[in-house]
Chains A and B, each alone.
Chain A
Amino acid sequence: MKIVLKFSQKIMQDPLLADVVLETGVRLNIDRAFVDASIGEIVIDVPDERVEEVAAAFRRRGTEVREMDTPIVFDETECVQCGACVSVCPVEVFEYKDDRTISINLKRCVLCKTCIAMCPHGALKTAEE
């Protein structure tokens, strides 16, 4: 399962990820990281059965944790099944099916948003939009 970590400037200096890996022993995978002057946001992939444990370890260190449930919202009525999204996705969320419609596996999404800009028909949006 993918979870989103948000942390403030205050704790940005701490090696949070390393600490949590050492404490829990969970081999988590960093999907995406964004850090600027005021805030850091990291998306990590954690085995489903260890999510609670890992989330708790981050929360104890002052990190905001939430599950990434609906990363990208897909509007079927706008989609024309071209597949422009297929080649720009780094984690292969989109694939052509045999009938040339597009299958979507949002579980893999890391919210890089490249597909949103690519879609000529505005069929993809973030959940907040």
Chain B
Amino acid sequence: MPKSLEEINERIRDGSVYVVSADEMTAIVAELGSEDAAREVDVVTTGTFGAMCSSGVWMNFGHSDPPIKMSQVWLNDVEAYTGVAAVDAFIGATQLSETRGLEYGGAHVIEDLVARKEVHMKAVGYATDCYPRRSVEAPISIADLNEATMLNPRNAYQRYNVATNSTDRVLYTYMGTLLPRFGNATYSGSGTLSPIYNDPDYETIGVGTRIFLCGAQGYVIGNGTQHDPANSFGTLMVCGDLKAMSTDYLRAAILHKYGTSLYVGIGIPIPVLNEGIARKTAISDADIKTTILDYGVARRSRPELKTVSYGELKSGMIDLNGKEVRTSSMSSFFKAKEIATELAARIQKGAFELALPTARLPQQATQKPMKQLSAVPLVREVMLPSITVREAISVQEAAKIIVGKQVNHLPVISASNKLIGIVTAYDIAKAVARNKGDSLKGIMTRRVVTATPDEPIDLAARRLERHNISALPVIDHTNSVIGIITSEDLSKLLACR
């Protein structure tokens, strides 16, 4: 027996509406069946609270006297985009402070505004006949802004990948610290409370759906960027009035050695219009599957290691190739539940009515990769032949080769042609200064940082930078040296890109 949205809103007004959160609905449908559940339950509330980098705020500062057309504007030294009308600007969550770097960003400015703190506004402009002023500076608070409208291009990911790390070093990523050799795994998303997973066919979530956005009433205004419903990676574009938001549901975050982000709290009410919707909102953590990816491979397509459910992830431990790996959530399920509960309470007391979409979101779209005019060169395309030596040669012989061949690095190979070390011109100079002349054995570096022929040169460049070294022997899968790539050659190449 289908219900209309108007009937549900009528029940909200007269106080007879029955609202439950999405995790409770799982149990209700299991007990009553979807037909009876659809009759009993009017609204299912969902929630999510996690790092949503694709977030920001449109602001209007009002006009100064004499007026200025801002060409650049900063709030607490974080630049906002003002390539629109004179005193409009968009501040993005991940834009970093020009003075404090990774410690403070757009997300912090947004949180400070919501917390009713003053932020320092500074703007410059090129003078025109209508906007003669060249600069302006003032402490401002959220009350001083005409509008402060949160507008997030991509929020509320239906689900997200799990991150882990196969390499021998710690990785600092937007999924947090990933310990070496699969030392941990991190995930994100609210599973059973996921807004889109509770309406996977976008029957009630669409353009114009009224939502809970960081404590305020906001709206879905379209699909999010990279919307990929065909692969269960749907996203939403949302907006809402920042002035009505609360720091209970909006928090700036710092991801160590990565940058800033904004934790956004979103709750979406799903009207149970029919049995089909009731059945879909019964989805549980065990039903929602996601993929563990190896973030040790810094490519667009990271290796897929395994499929797991949110139920397994939330148990705190997953099995990966026979190893028990501890899991962390980067988003807060506790806050997601708090949001779903708060939204349910607002609906129950008549403070939040539901709206049906005025247009539906794409249900079959997929995202495509960036169009690149030229592929990033691979190491094999730019590496040079390498002069290799045996460890038994004397320091003087090595010095002769370095001078004669005009190189700075000599990979050292074993009798079976395997890489066993490297010496640099500096090692040779040092050995001469200390009179250690007999062989390379005692002076070579044995832990050699290397490159492989099929990796993009950007990865090799990052490795040189991280280890503060100037060359990488290129080795094949048998550990034989097939070339060398130096920072000198790389910087020439990168400079003319």
Contacts and interface: CB of A to CB of B under 8 A. Distances in A.
A120 B185 contact: no
Given A83-B329, A100-B333, A121 B253 contact: yes
B186 interface: yes
Contacts, number: 78
B334 A120 contact: no
A114 B333 CA distance: 22
A120 B327 contact: no
Interface stretch (B146-154, B254-262, B407-415): B254-262
B329 A84 contact: yes
Contacts of B255: 120
B327 A80 contact: no
B251 interface: yes
A96 B316 contact: yes
Interface string B392-408: 00000000000000000
Interface in A59-114: 80-88, 95-96, 99-101, 114
A54 B443 CA distance: 43
B332 A80 contact: yes
Name the prevailing secondary structure of the A interface residues. Answer: loop
B340 interface: no
The contact size tier of chain B is 20 to 34
B330 interface: yes
A37 B491 CA distance: 35
A88 B179 contact: yes
B176 A101 contact: no
A28 interface: no
Contacts of A80: 49, 251, 263, 332, 334-335
A122 interface: yes
B331 interface: yes
Name the prevailing secondary structure of the B interface residues. Answer: strand
B51 interface: yes
The contact size tier of chain A is 20 to 34
B328 A83 contact: yes
B254 A81 contact: no
Given A86-B328, A87-B326, A118 B334 contact: no
A122 B176 CA distance: 13
Nearest to B257: A117
Contacts of B172: 117
A84 B334 contact: no
A84 B186 contact: yes
Nearest to B164: A87
Interface in B327-364: 327-335, 337
Interface in B360-412: none
A83 to B, nearest CB: 5
Interface of A: 80-88, 95-96, 99-101, 114, 117-118, 120-122
7 contacts: A81-B334, A82-B330, A82-B331, A82-B332, A96-B314, A120-B253, A120-B254
Given A87-B186, A96-B316, A121-B251, 5 more contacts: A80-B263, A82-B328, A85-B328, A87-B185, A118-B177
